[in-house]
Amino acid sequence: MRLIELPKGARAVVESVQDAHADDAIAQRLRDLGFVPGEPVRLIARGPLGGDPLLIQIGSTRFALRRAEAARVHVRPEAKP
């Protein structure tokens, strides 16, 4: 599933970041921010108009991502306890 499809408040684990082309600077920037395989993430909130941007938490850090950027991140939802 893509990160943009995650329900608000849901937790997941990053599986991959999709490269649009070779030397994709946006995909590399996402990896540099911590969107790497195995990293836990949580969707905190969505913007009011069209759900853009998304507020994402990785560890103790929160990032605002555009939907187009978040669509590149593939995640595996965590099982509910």
> What confidence tens digit (pLDDT) does each residue in 42-60 have?
999 999 888 899 999 998 8
List all residues 6 or more positions away from 38 whose beta carbon is below 8 Å from its beta carbon.
13, 14
**Whether 58 contacts 35, CB under 8 Å:** yes
**pLDDT attached to residue 81:** 65
CA neighbours closer than 13 Å in the CB half-sphere of residue 75? 25
Q: Which domains does the chain have, with CATH numbers?
A: 3-77 (2.30.30.90)
What's the whole-model pTM score?
A: 0.89
Distances (CA, A) of 81 to 9, 11, 19, 78: 14, 11, 33, 9
Nearest-angstrom CA–CA distance, 75 and 16: 7
All residue ranges of the chain with pLDDT < 50 are none
